[in-house]
A and B are shown apart, each in its own frame.
Chain A
Amino acid sequence: MQIKKLLLGLLLASPTMLWAQGSQVNTQGQKAVGMAGAGSALFVDETSIFYSPGALVKMDHNAVSVGASAIMYRSAFREFNSNDVHHTKFKISPPFSVFATFGPQNSWWKAGLGVYTPFGGSVDWGDQWPGRYELNHLQMRAIYIQPTLSFKLTENFGIGGGFVYNVGLVDLSRSIPIAAADGTPGRAELSGVGTGMGFNVGVHYNLEDDFAISLSYRSQVITKLKDGDAQFTVPPALAASFPNTTFEAELPLPSSFNVGLTFPASERVDIAADATFIGYSVYKELVFDYKDNTPVLEDTRQEKKYENALSAKVGVNYEASDRLDLRVGGGYVYSPVRGPYVSPETPDNNRMMGSIGFTYDINDRWDLTGAYVFQHILERTVTSANTGLSGTYKTNIHAPGISLTYKW
């Protein structure tokens, strides 16, 4: 007896993967982290390569800094009408950054190189939670490499720009709703490396030591994953329908436009404020193109429909002594993700941030900067447009970090 196209119903819902808002925890410079992300106009140092390329030329020295954060995403989920709260496993993702400047002192130009991680995260829900067929775990990182040049147009007005080369790494898994003889579900594992290009430009203007403004624009970076590795664990009878294959996908990392202001409040206190518009509307859909298709393993197209987002951050820098600066900051971020498109990778919503930080001048050559930012993603109850998973998410993000700078 032939039952035509019997297996056509076994559609594998498309993998979800995105470099989303939730994965954007900016930890490029620990001074800015200590102010919840504000300070692009205030801090004129090697991290200006990222925050304000126009300010770079105003450095009166050269420096190399190395920093790292320990980002801890802690998400919880409770399915609608259920009493079971599921937590992500404890994972630390360690974004790092390296900034170095080159060029003559007090000249009309300065060059720099930044290697940093603007997007990255690690979330592991395991394979026992109600959304197991949407996601088990996701780990990803986008590493930007940015050579930068900055020029002084006048004594107070600097302009700069850099070229961005991105290397993106992703690794995710999910359960497949096909039971093996022992009753356990199948599993899909996808991993790959992609590359993309973009740029970063900015201007910085200051009125002597009083007031400064920074404008910067980071372009979108379309990261193309090619020859990603797709592996499926399914019962032997279905192995031919789920061949281990490769895939291609395109992930647009959004552009952002940042305005930063700073002014002194007293002899020892500076206040800085930053607003960032993030062009997430570029993220409309996610298409997965498998090299080998079968009736059950088809290319997938998943709607994302992101909206543009906005964040605002304010921080205070207090010069406690000649050698010690202390910082505190706060901020608010509007989510680009609409309710039905919230996914367990980074269950996004508007978020609040609070931070503290310090810089200690060990001596004329060495600085040590530390910071800690806490982000609370507001509780959100959603029903997924893609999977029907319905419930409440809540996320806390902790990111302590440290950096060491050598100046000459």
Chain B
Amino acid sequence: MKRIFKNIALYIGILSTLVASSCKPEIEGFQTTSGEANFSKYISVGNSLTAGFADGGLYLEGQQVAFPNLIAEQLRQVGGGDFRSPFFSENERSGSGYLRLKDLVNGQPVLENVTDNLAYREPGKLSKHTGDIENLGVPGMRLDLSKFGPFSAANMYFERLLQDGDVGTKTYMDFATGRDHTFFSFWLGNNDVLGYAMNGAVTNQGDLTTVLTETAMFEQTYRDFIGALTTNDRKGVVATIPDVTAIPFFTTVTRAALIAAIKAESGQDVQDIYIETGTGTPRAASDNDLFVLPFASAGLLGSTSAESPYPYGLYPDNPVESQYVLDSDEVTAIQARVKAFNDIIKQVAEEKGLALADAHTYLNRVKDPGIVYNGVIVNASFITGNAFSLDGVHLTPMGNAIIANLFIEAINKQYSSRIPKVDASKYRGVKFP
């Protein structure tokens, strides 16, 4: 009797050991490989998206989740080496300053500027960064200015990366090449369209950042830049330029929303919003005319001034100024230019055997019909779409992670590599107060 109980205790002991040892089911791992590529020194070349610019500014948290940084993290599993970024210090973590969602009043966003812990060494000049870097993204960088030395003095994000002697002379192409890289990502060209489009398709006199780059100029510079990066058969990934109608900057403030706003504020039953088109003629806006996001907070609509007794935007005699609106003809022209640029990008990628991340196609799909990522609804809606940050142009951390996966897929496809994907659900959308 006693023995039996002893035996039972023994059996239970053996059983428990068995249970403990075989408890965790194992799933065979994803076999990583670098394929035909060598990721030991990866550099990222590009503009604000590459730098991790978000919420209208460049700041530490955004820099840390810039899509190239997320790619580099994954590349560690396939032989990737150090990937250093010009991070702002913890004390200067707010960098250039950025937008924060302060409140929601009746479901509408109230934004404020973050002004503590900024990184300005003097007005308009950011603290310098010294030391080697692999994330070479410069907010505001344009392809057409990438061979233009004086731009390195005009652009504070570029200026902070250069030694004093190089400021005003060093071109971005010089800066980005000659770094002995083994792999690169290249996403430039957005600002060659966006600078012009965000200014309502108006080129400000003397402001090179609002120019719409000519197609021939684009092609020449693109080929030069890619040529310099692909010497010695080096491999890389390039990306297409998104459609302007795929970003909340142009799709949030609609004609219908403006009419509803007037009605809510003054009770007036307004039928039409009048705009100044690119040709200078005022007309009633249609749903195909896109208002820029800052128009929402400009406080102009319905206002009167000394110059005009007519409420702003509600009469043909005082239309919404051209810089606040992309009229439908301008949208069509810009889309045509984007297509021309993307055709060049695709052609060069094919000629050079480079991976192509088709951000244009992908972001159009995010806009319509939208995607569901692991239970998270991701679309191009302002604030709630999870992909775009508070400036309506740049990505949230989650948007960066999703774009990183788009690049990774493209690289894997082109070079038979198996880089594991980023778990984008780890990254946030817009922060709410």
Contact = CB atoms under 8 A, between A and B. Distances in A.
Interface string A160-183: 000000000000000001111101
A388 B372 CA distance: 6
A82 B420 contact: yes
Given A82-B423, A392-B27, A396-B23, A2 B260 contact: yes
Contacts, number: 171
A72 B29 CA distance: 24
Contact of A388 (B8, B24, B371): B371
B24 A76 contact: yes
Contacts of A387: 372, 374-375
Contact of A6 (B107, B297, B373): B107
Nearest to B378: A177
B425 A360 contact: no
Interface stretch (A53-61, A230-238, A308-316): A230-238
Given A4-B257, A5-B107, A75 B428 contact: no
Interface string B398-432: 00000000000000000000001101011011111
Interface in B6-36: 8, 11-12, 15-16, 19, 22-27, 29-30, 32
A130 B423 contact: yes
A4 B109 CA distance: 11
Interface in B331-379: 371-377, 379
Interface residues of B, number: 60
Contact of B376 (A133, A235, A236): A133
Contacts of B109: 3, 6
B382 interface: yes
Contact of A179 (B4, B107, B429): B429
A79 B261 contact: no
B260 A83 contact: no
A400 interface: yes
A87 B24 CA distance: 7
Given A6-B382, A379-B27, A394-B25, A81 B421 contact: yes
Interface stretch (A8-16, A200-208, A281-289, A333-341): A8-16
A323 B19 CA distance: 27
Question: Interface size class for chain A?
Answer: 35 or more
A133 B424 CA distance: 12
B257 A3 contact: yes
Given A3-B257, A360-B8, A388-B371, A10 B384 contact: yes
Given A3-B252, A82-B420, A180-B431, A395 B103 contact: no
Interface string B32-62: 1000000000000000000000000000000
Nearest to B425: A130
B99 interface: no
B431 A183 contact: yes
Nearest to A16: B375
A376 B11 CA distance: 22
A321 B242 CA distance: 79
B23 A398 contact: yes
B95 interface: no
B306 interface: no
Given A133-B376, A134-B374, A396-B22, A83 B32 contact: yes
B431 A179 contact: yes
A259 to B, nearest CB: 31
Given A6-B107, A180-B432, A360 B374 contact: no
Nearest to B432: A235
A81 B376 contact: no
Contacts of B12: 370, 400
Nearest to A8: B384
Contacts of A235: 431-433
B260 A78 contact: no
B27 A181 contact: no
B25 A13 contact: no
A325 to B, nearest CB: 13
A72 B19 contact: yes
Contacts of B190: none
A265 interface: no
B375 A177 contact: yes
A392 to B, nearest CB: 5
A74 interface: yes
Contacts of A392: 27
B270 interface: no
B103 A237 contact: yes
A238 B433 CA distance: 8
A85 interface: yes
Interface string B256-267: 110011001100
Interface in B90-147: 101, 103-104, 106-109
Contacts of B429: 177-179
A1 B420 CA distance: 43
B211 interface: no
A153 interface: no
A6, A362, A388, A396 — most chain B CB neighbours (10 Å):
A6
Given A13-B377, A130-B425, 8 more contacts: A1-B297, A3-B253, A85-B27, A131-B374, A134-B374, A177-B425, A178-B429, A398-B23
9 contacts: A9-B384, A78-B30, A82-B423, A84-B423, A133-B375, A177-B425, A179-B431, A180-B431, A389-B374
Top 4 nearest A-B pairs by Cβ distance?
A: A133-B375, A387-B375, A9-B384, A179-B428
